[in-house]
Structure 1
């Protein structure tokens, strides 16, 4: 297998971690160990309105309970808060935003979600504000990047790089963090394929061609009973809920394996190693 330097676990502390997170963490850990990569814990917490201390603590508790290791990043809440929070990297994100502004590739947009849906039934942004010449420093405007000449999925046309509150948006912060920490193995669920495409475009725009040398692995997701992906709002599938109900580590891994349709039970992340190809999706053209 190709050798890599660094991968990452990147949970968002907006809810308790669930079985789908466990599967993603396990896949990342297996691929990192197989390829010699170090695993970094990176907590994506820039949206401070949704962050709760209990959710951050749950990340450390869940990883410890399930014996999922990491080699770099915070070891506890204090280290996270004082050193590793994304708040401490806001300057890097704003530097990237200013570079995009200087290049003339962003435009201001005041469209609400309702307005976007009105323009397109699927909620795809059509570029309505691209030629309106709204001031970039206008209050309550987000910044969108001009993707008119890019071959991107519909969901990522003119994607947002700065939110209406002035804070950097996810696509930009995720890219800047991966560049900053030297991540060259990015493991994500299949639902984030469009994000990978957006971030590759953004890296090219900012002149970070080396980002294309990284490997991007997308994996299948666990589904809820209704055929939808698991979310942090699905309380009964959260590790926090299961732990409080007395489920052991082995029982939780068994649930993950059963939900994934594995032919044999698993009792740890390492048990996925010989089965890892079941989850990896082919690279899209």
Structure 2
């Protein structure tokens, strides 16, 4: 099977990265790994770049070759095989940037998520009107069809919070985000009312970081921490001047610590709801 012509998703690239890390930990070069596995060096390289579809059996074979004895890790890696997941987000392939599709795919596969946001309401908790107001404010301006594509994609992502298999979400939202007032008073009030409703979802833990709690670690960037089946496969999206996905162990350790620290600054769920209600009444 030739390498896929479709650019690899962030999950496919992550699978390749983890196989490369296992090979390097085993002290094997790409050439030697190919020899031992009975395949071409170029195929090993393409697998590690995420550009070559790899089967679960091949992942297990490579893991054995590299001396990996972590069965949980191996099974988690095999679950990432089979090429790009044909999820609903694929309908946006020629419409939205690849990063938007990657985000939806990571949300779909996450065991749970931890989000921290200083300026914006997390996308998974935005109303349609709030999202539309945000995208209409983009510079340079977007066309009406571009705005609607982005809005529909954002709203469809929220399906992970509903149903019997909903994904647990811990959301830390700074008071500043609650007071930004995007879209005007009516939209802003509707957004806060939606947050109150979402905070009652069975698997959503919404907490507010109030003004006066001091510094905000992470330089105010939006953070999404995706918890995987095994800790080594966790991922982070940092949304600052540009969005990026992070998966190195030192960075994962850093952002786990950042999220832990932010949680200590947040109000309890009921106190958070009280603050949201007060702000909504003041609009």
Using the size of structure 2 for normalisation, the TM-score is 0.26
Higher helix share: 2
- Larger CA Rg, structure 1 vs 2: 2
* Higher RCO, Cα 8 Å, sep 6+: 1
Using the size of structure 1 for normalisation, the TM-score is 0.26
